[in-house]
Amino acid sequence: MTHIRPPALIDPFGRPIHYLRVSVTDRCDLRCVYCMSEDMTFLPKADLLSLEELDRLCSAFVEQGVRKLRITGGEPLVRRNVLSLFRNLGRHVKSGALAELTLTTNGTHLAKFAEDLKQAGVRRVNISLDSLDPARFKTITRWGDHAKVMDGIRAAKDAGLKVKINTVAMRGVNEDEVESLVAWCGAEGFDLVLIETMPMGDIDGDRTAQYLPLSLVRAQLEQRFELTPIPDTTGGPARYTRVAETGGRVGFITPMTHNFCESCNRVRLTCTGTLYMCLGQEDAADLRTPMRASEGDELLRAAIREAIARKPKGHDFVIDRRHNRPAVNRHMSVTGG
Ligand code: SAM
Ligand code: SF4
C-alpha cells in the first residue's frame, strides 16, 4: 500500500525526529549489575499506561512522521499481553507508515514469542547478551538463565528475524570475551554492538570500576581482526565496522568517549507517558495528561510538537572518580535502553 509520508517533527537544531523508543514496563526478570540494584522498587501497576494508550501514543508519533518504533523496557516481553501491542502496531508496518517495528529484549522469553513477533511485522530484534559463559552470565544478570536466552536467540534466528547482539563491555568482567563474541556473532550471522556503561540510576556497585572505554576494546580487537569502518546508514549512535575475517559487522556505542548527539533522531517514551527528549538529560514532557484530556488527538499532537521544540542539543555524561554518581537519576530501564 502506498503511504503519503507526513512532514517530520524537526527539533530546534534541524534534526528530524524519525525514531521513537517506548519503554512498555520498568519491570524486568533480570537484575543486570550495571542497570539495576537487586531490590528495585518498581512503579505501581496502576500507573502504567494501558496497552491501548501506548498504541494511541505511538500512533500519534507515527502520524507525525516517526518511521521507526522500538519497544523496550525494562523487559518488554514480561509485560502481560504485550503481543497484542505488537500486533496492533504492525498495522503501521503494513500501511507503509512505519519502516520498522522492533524491540530490545534480554531474550529470556523470546523462544515463546519469536514466531508471533515475526507474524506481527517485526523483522529485526536486538538481544542483550554480555557473556557466552553461563556462570559469568549469571553473575552479570544476577538472576539470568543462560540456556533460556540462548534458546531465545536460536528461536529468533529460526523465525527469520535479523538478530543484533548488544553487549555492555565491562572492565574485569567480560573484556576478555569480546573476541569470542565477535567470532560467535560472525559465525551466526548476527551483528554485534558493544556499549560503554552509562551513569544512569543508582546501582549497588561502583561504576568507575566497571567502566571500560571502547577505544581500548577496539584496539584489542584490532590485534586479531581487521576492522574496516563502514558508512553509517542507521542514523543511530553506533559506529559500524566490517570484520574481514567473519564478514560480520561490529558496532561501537561510545556515549562516554565520543559524543554522538549531532545526528540524534530519537526521543524516548516511558511506560507512564513521559517523553524524554534526551537520554542523558532530565527535561521531559508529560503526554499522558493531554492524551487523557480528550478523545481526539489534537491536544496530544500539540504536546508532542511542543516537546520536540525543546529537544536539547546533547548529553553530558561523565564517569570519573569525582563524579561517581549517576548523571541522571532514572535507570535505563525507565527510559528504555
Ligand atoms: N531488558 C531489555 C534488554 O536488556 O535488552 C531491554 C531494556 S535494557 C535497559 C536495554 C539495553 O540497555 C541493554 O542492552 C542493556 O545492556 C543496556 N543498558 C542498561 N543499563 C545500562 C547502562 N547503565 N549503561 C549502558 N547500557 C545499559
Ligand atoms: Fe533487565 Fe535489560 Fe536492565 Fe538487564 S539491562 S536488568 S535485562 S532491563
* Position 64 in a domain: yes
* Position 234 in a domain: yes
CATH assignment at residue 260: 3.20.20.70
* Position 9 in a domain: no
Domain that holds residue 303: 19-335
* Position 309 in a domain: yes
Q: Which atom of ligand 2 is nearest to the CA of 36?
A: 6
* Position 1 in a domain: no
Q: Please, which residues bridge with residue 267 across strands?
A: 20
Contact 271, 25 (CB under 8 A): yes
* Position 225 in a domain: yes
Nearest ligand atom owner, CA of 198: 1
Looking at the structure of the chain, the number of domains it has is 1
Q: Which atom of ligand 2 is nearest to the CA of 35?
A: 3
Q: What is the pTM of this model?
A: 0.92
* Position 12 in a domain: no
Helix, strand and coil percent figures for the chain, each rounded to 5: 35, 20, 45
pLDDT tens, the chain, 337 aa long: 556 666 679 999 999 999 999 999 999 999 999 999 999 999 998 999 999 999 999 999 999 999 999 999 999 999 999 999 999 999 999 999 999 999 999 999 999 999 999 999 999 999 999 999 999 999 999 999 999 999 999 999 999 999 999 999 999 999 999 999 999 999 999 999 999 987 767 777 777 778 899 999 999 999 999 999 998 766 678 899 999 999 999 999 987 655 567 778 899 999 999 999 987 788 899 999 999 999 999 999 999 999 999 998 887 655 544 455 566 666 666 665 5
Site residues for ligand 1, CB cut-off 6 Å: 28, 34-35, 72-73, 75, 104-106, 128, 166, 168, 195, 197-198, 200, 332-333, 337
Nearest CA to ligand 2 atom 4: 32
Q: Which atom of ligand 1 is nearest to the CA of 126?
A: 5
Give the DSSP H/E element, type plus range, for residue 220: helix 214-224
* Position 325 in a domain: yes
